[in-house]
Amino acid sequence: MKKFRKWICVLLSALMVLGLASCSGGGTSEAAPPEGAASGAASGEATTGGPSINVILPGNIEGQLIKDSIPDFESETGITVNVTEVPVDTLNTKITVELESGGSTADVVAYPYEWIPKFADSLLALDGYISEEDKNDIAQYAWDSASYNGSILGQMYVVTGMIMFYRSDLLEDAGLEVPTTWDEYVSVSQALTTDDMYGTVVTAKLAEEPVGMYLNYLYQNGGDILDEEGNVILNNEAGVEAMQFMVDLVYEYQVAPEAASTFTTTESLNLFTEEQVALCPNWSYVWSVSQADDSPIKDKVGMALLPENKEAGISLGGWVMSAVGASQNPDAAYQFIQFMNDTERQVRMAVEGGNTPTRTSALEAAEVKEIPLFDVMSEALATSVPRSKYPKYDEISNEIAIALSGSLAQTGEPQELLDTAAANIEAILAS
């Protein structure tokens, strides 16, 4: 019996250690408040006496660019800003917990705009705050994307979409034109595929991001997830053909790496910058990465619209900044959002972060006009479809991601996997 007690003691202590260890893991790394900010100050009055706001920003390039502009905002408005920087991977968790807990101290949150329908109930409607001047200066697609149920719930501070980045030197050497249709895309990719070079690349990891690539093919093929009445049409001929095309690029034409089902655009960008892929459909930020001084493909990259099959269309990606409904300082929160999206800041985001401005005034700035990316992007974005039009996009995209990664790993046929996805989406929308 003594021995038994001994082992129970060992078991309990081990459990305690494991419990503590698991409690300490998985937390988000939060950046310290900026110098001079009242650390830990609740939303409301800062120690300096002026108003203060708490802002949750993602730990990415754009988040950093916003952080860099905060001192200007503070000196211009006298509002103190406390920043919590959250890694992109855990941002969803952080904001969900903040907004659902009811005890949130955040005033402004920045996040991918497709989460708007999910957070809509906890966000402040900005319709009454936005000036006529801003309404006219900012592109309509940006307002549409940030709206839900007829209310504007944020401002898009990053808009992006996929375009085709290609190795201009290789196309020139082979005497080939940039592909504009799916057929040309296949033939050019085949011509450029060699032992050390893939013609193109497909991304299909089980995650939200690669779904964007499928949606591009889907829209180009005249398909959609839902029709105008809200019926699921994902598994119709257009939807299946689009997914089959992605599978064929890998297995039938053999112009893209077989590891597609483990790729997001990060992996495809790596292959592109390491000179292993000739045609790389990817997000607009690839331009600034490929033009960096240490990039092996600097000055060898061209940009074009994605090839289309039946019509032009891309899925709009982007980030939005919203004010929290429970904010103690809604005016200061809106001031922050407006400041970070004014013409000066958009120009900076464009020049330093490669982000396409949504303001006409920013697009017309001389330093923006110098960058060739924005012409192509503006043209591409004009045909963009916002994801925030789908209610429960997260769940819908998860179903598509399962079908996509399964198709690319050949665990099933696109038709069969999309039928399952469509049935599940119907159930999700009905619940």
Partner 1 sequence: MRSKHTSRVAVLLILPAVVLILLIIAYPLVYSLFSSFQLADGGWGLDHYQTVLGSKEFWSAFKNTLLFTAGIVSAEIVLGFIVALGLQKLPTHVRNVCRGLMIIPLLISPVIASYEWMWMLNDQYGLVNQILGAIGITPPLWLVKPGWAFFSISLVDIWVSTPFVILVFQSALASLPKEPYEQAELDGASALKKFLYLTLPYLRGPLIVVLIIRTMDVFRIYDAIAVLTGGGPGTATTSLSLLAFRTGIDFGRMQQSSAMSLLMMIPILIVTAFYIRMIFSGEGEETRKKPARFRRK
Q: Could you list the residues that contact partner 1 (CB under 8 A)?
A: 1, 3-4, 6-7, 10-11, 14-15, 18-19, 23, 25-26, 92-93, 96, 100, 118, 205-207, 257-262, 271, 276, 392, 394-395, 398, 401-403, 405-406, 408-409, 411-412, 417, 431
Pick the closer one to partner 1 by CB: 80 or 268: 268
- C-alpha distances (whole Å) from 247 to each of 10, 14, 138, 165, 188 are 53, 48, 38, 21, 17
| Partners of 308 in the β-ladder | 181
Tokens at 19, concatenated: 């419990």
Q: How far is the CB of 400 from partner 1 (least distance, A)?
A: 12
- C-alpha distances (whole Å) from 29 to each of 26, 64, 91, 94, 219 are 9, 15, 11, 11, 38
**Rg (alpha carbons) of the chain, rounded to whole number:** 24
Pick the closer one to partner 1 by CB: 116 or 376: 116
Q: How far is the CB of 357 from partner 1 (least distance, A)?
A: 31
Q: How far is the CB of 116 from partner 1 (least distance, A)?
A: 13
For residues 423 and 419, give the distance between their C-alpha atoms in angstroms, rounded to a whole number: 6
Pick the closer one to partner 1 by CB: 14 or 382: 14
Tokens at 334, concatenated: 């809106």
Pick the closer one to partner 1 by CB: 262 or 343: 262
Pick the closer one to partner 1 by CB: 258 or 419: 258
Pick the closer one to partner 1 by CB: 189 or 261: 261
CB atoms within 10 A of CB 265: 23
**Residues ≥6 apart with Cβ < 8 Å to 407:** 204, 243, 244, 246, 247, 413, 414, 417
Q: How far is the CB of 11 from partner 1 (least distance, A)?
A: 5
Q: How far is the CB of 99 from partner 1 (least distance, A)?
A: 10
For residues 62 and 64, give the distance between their C-alpha atoms in angstroms, rounded to a whole number: 5
Sign of the CA dihedral running 381, 387, 390, 391: negative
Q: How far is the CB of 194 from partner 1 (least distance, A)?
A: 16
Q: How far is the CB of 352 from partner 1 (least distance, A)?
A: 28
Pick the closer one to partner 1 by CB: 389 or 392: 392
Pick the closer one to partner 1 by CB: 357 or 406: 406
CB contact at 8 A, 73 and 81: yes
| Partners of 198 in the β-ladder | 277
Map residue 407 onto helix, strand or coil: helix
Q: How far is the CB of 167 from partner 1 (least distance, A)?
A: 18
Q: How far is the CB of 213 from partner 1 (least distance, A)?
A: 15
For residues 78 and 396, give the distance between their C-alpha atoms in angstroms, rounded to a whole number: 43
Q: How many Cα neighbours within 13 Å face the side chain of 37?
A: 25
End-to-end CA distance of the chain: 54
Q: How far is the CB of 232 from partner 1 (least distance, A)?
A: 17
Pick the closer one to partner 1 by CB: 83 or 403: 403
For residues 396 and 404, give the distance between their C-alpha atoms in angstroms, rounded to a whole number: 12
Nearest to 188 by CA among 287, 307, 310: 307
Pick the closer one to partner 1 by CB: 25 or 230: 25
Tokens at 321, concatenated: 């900044």
